[in-house]
Amino acid sequence: MTPSPETTITSKNITVSYGHITALDNFSVNVPSGIVGLLGPNGAGKSTFIKAVLGLLVPDSGQITIAGKSLTTEGEIIRDMIGYMPEHDCLIDTFTAVELVSYMGQISGMQKKDAMPRCHEMLDFVGIGEERYRPISSYSTGMKQKVKLAQAIVHDPKILFLDEPTNGMDPQGREEMLDLVKKIRASDKSILVSTHILDDLEKVSDHAIIIGEGRLITEGGLEELLAGKESLRVVKVRGQAPDMEKFLKVLGDVYEVRSITPESGQTSIIILNQGDGTPIFRLSKENNVQLRAYYPHKASLEDVFVGAMENKGGDQ
């Protein structure tokens, strides 16, 4: 795996163990710039990977490089470039949002005269209003998530790690959070988002890394992953029941049919077709069914994820 010039994080053969449990097992990946989704079921090793990259835990073996710098020798320089939004509750809840975010700005290396206006700017950005002067203990989960994001970006890091950013948020809050992530991305940052909510990731990320049981299952650009490695096609047809029956039988003899779904007045069929679509048109004409649509099948991220996890199971 050769890192591309745009690679933000490179991990080579990382192994992290907690006692007898191996959380990351020879995990190697190149994380490109842009918004990258880190996907995996609970306990897959997502948070462990982020902690290892942050230098919060020392891997048993392997190497991590961030923006071309070694985590082992230049850990502090790297951490000055990083912002981290943890998954769990971590806010000092006796502080107000203003106190906490400006404090975090200062311990990230900002002077007080810079940290205070920047803190207000970031709280405005994430949508915390006058509540910013109340102790964090009185905040809702959604507001706490926003404060966590504000403290992660207050020092304008080049690389941002978001661990389950929409955790515990209602649908509107999730949309707002994803919108914020997209806005941050616009300022040319690299953002690694760890989540198990696939819909969220599909909306914002450019690249996805799927991890399971501490190992890399698959990775790639989102479009590439969603297009799928197989040539699946959607065929939508309409016709009389006997004709449809004949058509489906003939189609099944020629192609591998993955699914047949009745829709309002028509039938949607997913087939595996490596060649062109001419025979489909011919078959539909011969069987007296009306071909309404024929196009490449685009999988959802959930399909990709489930497929990847199933393949992983098959590999073992």
- Residue 168 CB neighbours (<10 A): 14
Assess contact for 124 and 160: CB atoms under 8 A.
Answer: no
Selected binder of other proteins within 94, 261, 288, 290 (CB under 8 A)? 94
- Residue 86 CB neighbours (<10 A): 20
Q: Which of residues 283-312 bind other proteins (CB under 8 A)?
A: none
Map 75-112 to HEC letters. HHHHHHCEEEECCCCCCCCCCEHHHHHHHHHHHCCCCH
Min dist CB 50 to other proteins, Å, is 9
- Residue 31 CB neighbours (<10 A): 23
Listed ranges 119-127, 245-253, 272-280, 288-296: which one lies at the site for other proteins (CB under 8 A): 119-127
Examine residue 20 and tell whether it contacts other proteins (CB under 8 A): no
Selected binder of other proteins within 176, 205, 207, 309 (CB under 8 A)? 176
71 burial type by CB count under 10 A (0-12 exposed, 13-18 middle, 19+ buried): buried
Selected binder of other proteins within 40, 45, 59, 86 (CB under 8 A)? 86
Selected binder of other proteins within 88, 253, 314, 316 (CB under 8 A)? 88
CA distance 276 to 137: 61
Assess contact for 225 and 301: CB atoms under 8 A.
Answer: yes
Selected binder of other proteins within 43, 60, 72, 92 (CB under 8 A)? 92
Q: Which residue has the tokens 């040539």?
A: 231
Min dist CB 156 to other proteins, Å, is 4
Min dist CB 87 to other proteins, Å, is 10
Letters for 42-81 (x = contact with other proteins by CB under 8 A, - = none) are ---------x--x-xxx----------------xxx-xx-
Examine residue 151 and tell whether it contacts other proteins (CB under 8 A): yes
Assess contact for 15 and 61: CB atoms under 8 A.
Answer: yes
- Residue 199 CB neighbours (<10 A): 13
Nearer to other proteins, 102 or 218 (CB): 102
Task: Indicate the helix (H) or strand (E) that contains 120.
Answer: helix 112-126
Examine residue 126 and tell whether it contacts other proteins (CB under 8 A): yes
Nearer to other proteins, 107 or 241 (CB): 107
Alpha-carbon torsion 278, 283, 285, 290, what sign? negative
Q: How many residues bind other proteins (CB under 8 A)?
A: 49
Name the site residues for other proteins (rule: CB under 8 A).
18, 51, 54, 56-58, 75-77, 79-80, 82, 84, 86, 88-94, 103-104, 106-111, 114, 118, 121, 124-130, 151, 153, 155-156, 176, 180, 183-184, 186-187
